[in-house]
Structure 1
Amino acid sequence: MEHIKAIKKDDQHAFQHVFNRYHPQIYGFILQRTKSAYVAEEVTQLTFIKLWKQRGILSEKLGIDVQLFGMARQVMIDVLRKEATRFKYEGESAETPLTDSLVEAIESKDLLQIMEKDIENMPKMRRLVFELSRKQGLSHREIAHMFSISPKAVEYHISKALLQLKQHLYSVML
């Protein structure tokens, strides 16, 4: 957290420390997903530029790594979309790995991982009710009968779970 505070105060030494520490990790993260050294280098550089430009709005509640990888993911998606559009208008082969389907796959995989982690961290009863409803397709009445609770209580647990997921996904997407 001290790096965040220092970077927010325009401390270039703190920024350099974060750059040196996370550059290889960000590069590897992007390279693994895109299989392109060019895109990985471009996205990594743009990520650190974005970090510096947005230093004033960094959250002191989240670790620098969480915020940095979130930025990298968003920059990667933006770059891939631009590349896909460029290929489309230049008439290049649609079989290029940099297509909208790749972007969608990355977004979906990342969101699913975030959601699964959030579901695991829910209170036990909320998690059980949510999983029975959404993953196993049981009705509110069936779940209520299983746990000897009212269907309204099931509805309450599901609405709380959905609200929790929605709030966290919203914060991640910013």
Structure 2
Amino acid sequence: MIHKAPPCNEDVLRQVAAGDQRAFRQLFNLYHHKLGSYIYNITKSRELAEEVVQDVFLKIWNNKATLPEIINFDSYLFVISKNHALNSLKTIAARQTATTYLEQVTEEMLPADYQEENERYLLVDEAIDRLPQQQKLVYLMSRHERLQYAEIADRMSLSKETVKKYLQISTESISSYIRKRLTISIILFISNLF
């Protein structure tokens, strides 16, 4: 596909190379629409095309000292834009593939997806068994016996605030233990794939 962008004036390139922002704006205005259309045809994404055009012009500004060395600015501009667009598409595709893969692995590793429902309970039981004795008793009385804070406090000779705090700490400890175990399982599963 041949691009009929207006030829870039060498004086404009020299001015940009010298740091003239007005000349740079002129250069941008001269090319950004045609370049945006060209990149859109590659990416099929308006947002990505705009991002690529901005990135390319930022690169031109950052490397402005090399502009006088460029023999055919039009070709240079469209080649670096195409390369940047293709690299952006590759990056997006790689991220999407990795995200999809991790979502699938995570779904497979969640307790709800285990083959046997008992495995869920075993993990929770392991977490409860790791609690300090008093927290464990408070947790079991609250969750299994369905006792109120006041009832637990009376049975254990504790204040209601202490019971509440023990229950909070034990719940956080159980959740943390389960998360860690799932994370370790996922990491081991992924490492075994590679």
Q: TM-score normalised to the size of structure 1? A: 0.49
Bigger-Rg structure (1/2): 2
TM normalised by structure 2 equals: 0.44
